[in-house]
Structure 1
Amino acid sequence: MRNRPPYALASVDHALQLAALLQQEGPLRVTDAAERLGVAVSTAHRLLAMLVYRDFAEQGADRRYGPGKVLRPAEISGAPIALLRAVCDAPLKWLVEQTQESANVVVPARTEVRFIATVESPRVLRVGDRVGRSLPAHLTSGGKAILAALPPEEVCAMYEDAGEVDLPRLRRELALVRKRGFAINDQLTETGLTAIGTVVEDAEGVPLAGVSIALPTARFDRDALPAWVNALSTAARRVEAALADYR
């Protein structure tokens, strides 16, 4: 039997209870959540909004909330996540200084990527923290950079049964990413958001992660692209060098 912690935080406890309810019982209305937790409807709404933000919940077309990606079975990433987190902070901060845009590190989990680190832009209008979120690899800039660094036959095997992915088109796009050395996500994952990414590889050339900058589409400027790509490449090489120092 577990004892309740003496300094339990009610808001954390409520959020964890709500996540468990979504995972075990399925979709809930805000009023259902409030009743189950014994809190005001406004409080339940704020809790659900935070769970949605962190991918613990999703809101359906019927306005009910169900379990999000974090609460569903997921592929395990083979990337050294703890080590990447330990070494990427300084390169990401440098990247933000150079570009004045938010910077991220993602790791692959088969056909998805997971955000494991973010340093936000200092600007008022900026792309926020994405840590903990998962997105389709073939849509994100970091994900496409990772896929482009894999053997083409491996990518084909990953997506051969994915009916929603146009594999010939994806192969053409990845060939262009390999040629350029960077990938772009132009509002594919979120309206009004553009991202540019490149790959982080180990000493044997195996892709471990993607580094990207994300910015409001209104600020995207093709004339600035060479400078952004140069900064991204430098940040990625710094991450690789830091990883090598640990080996």
Structure 2
Amino acid sequence: MKNKPTYSIDSVDHALRLAGLLQQEGPLRVADAAERLGVARSTAHRLLAMLVYRDFAEQNADRRYVAGSVLRHLPGVEPIAQLRSIALPHLQRLVDQTGETANLMVLLGKYVRFVATIECSHILRVGDREGRMVPAYLASGGPALLARRSDAEIDALYADDREIDLAALRRTLRQTRKQGFSINDQATEAGMTAIGHAINGPSRPAIAALSLAMPTVRYARPRLPEWVAALRGTVRKIEQDLDTTDGWGHPTTPTQA
């Protein structure tokens, strides 16, 4: 897992996060950008202005900002703003039900990116992971998503990665397919355990993953069926909401009889 540099520059971090949001989630207003970054609107406006100046962003006629020419030439994923919007209320209910932190993530090549986090209220808790990217094979939601791919696809994805034990990864993915969920037991961070489950869209299998994360000291194996059941119930509700859309939050047009 990548650690934040000791001498990090917040303005650079904000600008990079904002560029990622524009590329991966679509148009943003200044107020939206400020809310997502947790900064003042004036700060968000200055960041967006600099991204426009360097062609990382453009402003539409409706005054919303979109990815500029630099970002459009980089590989990305379909906009996930609507998916995030649909999932957030369900994440909150999952946190209320379990008392632990919930995350939504998407797969980007060999990494997963956390696109939403709802923290629980415990003093000792897993904190906000939104915006972070971690190796998919380590994060709880990663194997849940990778397990939907064939062995040939996994081999091709990790063919040049000498740090990966492909045989071990295949075993992990077979177990994940069998049980329907995956567990990250301190693989990304000491003292943190998480359970992950894939989310299907109407026409896009495994478009995202949901995870329940907790301090390892609160993880108890006998409670695993309870947590998995809560995850599965939440996933089903998200999928039901996605069934009324095109898979990314846009309402579908009813078929005329």
For 1:15, the equivalent position in structure 2 comes to: 10
Following superposition, the deviation at residue 208 of structure 1 comes to 0.5
| CA distance in structure 2 between the aligned counterparts of 1:79 and 1:152, rounded to whole angstroms | 24
Following superposition, the deviation at residue 201 of structure 1 comes to 1.1
Change over 3 Å in CA distance of 1:79–1:176 after alignment to 2: farther
Aligned partners of 1:111 and 1:158 also within 8 Å: yes
Change over 3 Å in CA distance of 1:77–1:198 after alignment to 2: farther
| CA distance in structure 2 between the aligned counterparts of 1:97 and 1:151, rounded to whole angstroms | 36
Residue 160 of structure 2 aligns to a residue in which SS? coil
Change over 3 Å in CA distance of 1:77–1:172 after alignment to 2: farther
Aligned partners of 1:117 and 1:131 also within 8 Å: yes
Structure number with larger C-alpha Rg: 1
Change over 3 Å in CA distance of 1:98–1:113 after alignment to 2: same
| CA distance in structure 2 between the aligned counterparts of 1:236 and 1:18, rounded to whole angstroms | 32
Change over 3 Å in CA distance of 1:245–1:207 after alignment to 2: same
The amino acid of 2:149's aligned partner reads: L
| CA distance in structure 2 between the aligned counterparts of 1:91 and 1:78, rounded to whole angstroms | 23
State whether structure 2 residue 170 is matched by structure 1 residue 171. yes
How many pairs does the alignment contain? 182
State whether structure 2 residue 213 is matched by structure 1 residue 214. yes
Following superposition, the deviation at residue 203 of structure 1 comes to 2.3
Following superposition, the deviation at residue 18 of structure 1 comes to 7.8
Q: Percent identity?
A: 44
Change over 3 Å in CA distance of 1:90–1:158 after alignment to 2: same
Aligned partners of 1:183 and 1:197 also within 8 Å: yes
Change over 3 Å in CA distance of 1:174–1:19 after alignment to 2: same
Q: What's the TM-score, normalizing by structure 1?
A: 0.69
Aligned partners of 2:202 and 2:242 also within 8 Å: no
| CA distance in structure 2 between the aligned counterparts of 1:18 and 1:189, rounded to whole angstroms | 21
State whether structure 2 residue 128 is matched by structure 1 residue 129. yes
| CA distance in structure 1 between the aligned counterparts of 2:153 and 2:219, rounded to whole angstroms | 32
Change over 3 Å in CA distance of 1:157–1:89 after alignment to 2: same
For 2:19, the equivalent position in structure 1 comes to: none
For 2:255, the equivalent position in structure 1 comes to: none
Aligned partners of 2:101 and 2:119 also within 8 Å: yes
Unaligned ranges ≥5, structure 1: 1-13, 21-72
For 2:90, the equivalent position in structure 1 comes to: 91
Following superposition, the deviation at residue 245 of structure 1 comes to 1.5
Aligned partners of 2:141 and 2:197 also within 8 Å: yes
Unaligned ranges ≥5, structure 2: 1-8, 16-70, 247-257
Residue 218 of structure 1 aligns to a residue in which SS? helix
Please, which moves more after superposition, 195-204 or 111-120? 195-204
For 2:102, the equivalent position in structure 1 comes to: 103
The amino acid of 2:147's aligned partner reads: A
| CA distance in structure 2 between the aligned counterparts of 1:192 and 1:92, rounded to whole angstroms | 22
Aligned partners of 1:79 and 1:107 also within 8 Å: no
| CA distance in structure 2 between the aligned counterparts of 1:76 and 1:215, rounded to whole angstroms | 33
State whether structure 2 residue 151 is matched by structure 1 residue 152. yes
Change over 3 Å in CA distance of 1:19–1:82 after alignment to 2: closer
| CA distance in structure 1 between the aligned counterparts of 2:181 and 2:88, rounded to whole angstroms | 21
**What are the Cα deviations for residues 14-55 of structure 1, in whole angstroms up to 9, with x where unaligned?**
8326878xxxxxxxxxxxxxxxxxxxxxxxxxxxxxxxxxxx
| CA distance in structure 1 between the aligned counterparts of 2:212 and 2:95, rounded to whole angstroms | 8
Pairing of 1:190-205 with structure 2 (within 5 A): 190-204=189-203
For 1:9, the equivalent position in structure 2 comes to: none
Residue 118 of structure 1 aligns to a residue in which SS? strand
**What are the Cα deviations for residues 121-143 of structure 1, in whole angstroms up to 9, with x where unaligned?**
11111000000000000001101
For 2:184, the equivalent position in structure 1 comes to: 185
Change over 3 Å in CA distance of 1:102–1:124 after alignment to 2: same
**What are the Cα deviations for residues 132-171 of structure 1, in whole angstroms up to 9, with x where unaligned?**
0000000011011000112222111101111101011000
| CA distance in structure 2 between the aligned counterparts of 1:18 and 1:156, rounded to whole angstroms | 33
Change over 3 Å in CA distance of 1:18–1:165 after alignment to 2: closer
